[in-house]
Amino acid sequence: MDSLCLHGGDTCDAGNPFDINSTSINSTLLLLCSYPAWVAMLILSASFIIFANSVIKHNQDLRKKINSQQWFLIQMLMHPVIVGGTVYMANITGNEWWGLLGLPFIFNFGAEPMDFTKLPPRVLLIFQLFAYVHHAGPLLACLSCFSIQNNSQFALANSLLYAHAWSLHTLGALDYMKVLRKQKFFWIYMVQALFSTAFWWSSLRKGLEEVTLSAVFPLLVGPIFQYGGRWGLYEDIRYC
């Protein structure tokens, strides 16, 4: 498995330490050792999802208390910098562990600023699914096989694409703080979308030796999760 794309810069001995002649155990150990950053992100993501669904969802007073804290509002305001910066550092250094640093902010520490109990039962599951798909976008962008590693222009373009996407949270936070009305300033977000997307596609073309479907598709995985998840939310976000 020398060609595994998610190496995270770490290696390990996949030999069976217990001298058990089992191909499946060897394969599992090799898989886990070869994908350390991915495994760590999955575990931490699962922890926040479990916390959100087993604690926060059943204690709205706790959610509101966390959401009203100054540090929580600041991290919401800083989402473009945090998320975009995380993607940039992961891409420019080739170190996938940067994704783990941004993950708590991406999941809002498990205390999403919305009341899931207001969602009808028929909507709740699909809504949460799209919410977490949306969260997965920038995390996938930090993984080496879904980005062009060590390419300064693509790293910048990729980070700006996600910074733009998450700047919507900044607008929402400013609206919540009654600093501005997000609908009035939404046009700025759309202008950002035009330029950041154009720059991303231009950087993709320059960063690839050959523009083929097999080369381009992995780079689309992160944006598909990012925007596909968000578009899936729009249908039912009126309930929150």
Q: What is the mean pLDDT of residues 166-188?
A: 89
Q: What is the mean pLDDT of residues 147-166?
A: 94
Domain boundaries, the chain: 1-34, 36-239
121 pLDDT tier (thresholds 50, 70, 90): confident
Written as one string, the DSSP assignment of 154-212 is: HHHHHHHHHHHHHHHHHHHHHHHTTSS-TTTTHHHHHHHHHHHHHHHHHHHHHH-SS--
178 pLDDT tier (thresholds 50, 70, 90): confident
DSSP class of residue 13? -
Evaluate if residue 70 carries a pLDDT over 70.
yes
Evaluate if residue 98 carries a pLDDT over 70.
yes
DSSP class of residue 16? -
> CA torsion angle for 107, 136, 83, 106 (degrees, to 10)?
0
- pLDDT, position 2: 38
Give per-residue pLDDT as tens, 180-216: 888 888 899 999 999 999 999 999 999 988 778 888 9
CB proximity list for 185: less than 8 A, separation 6 or greater: 171
Task: Tell which phi-psi region holds residue 127, choosing left (phi > 0), alpha (psi between -120 and 50) or beta.
Answer: alpha
Give per-residue pLDDT as tens, 3-30: 344 344 444 444 444 444 445 555 555 5
Residue pair 240/169 in contact (Cβ under 8 Å)? The answer is no
Residue 81: half-sphere exposure toward Cβ, Cα within 13 Å? 6
35 pLDDT tier (thresholds 50, 70, 90): confident
Residue pair 136/209 in contact (Cβ under 8 Å)? The answer is no
Tell me which of 13 and 117 has the higher pLDDT.
117
49 to 76, 118, 130, 180, 216: CA distances (angstroms): 18, 18, 13, 31, 31
- pLDDT, position 31: 52
Average pLDDT of every residue of the chain: 85
Window from 113-117, 128-132, 146-150, 161-165 with minimum mean pLDDT: 113-117
Picking from 156, 143, 167, the residue whose alpha carbon sits closest to that of residue 199 is 156
What pTM was estimated for this model as a whole?
A: 0.83
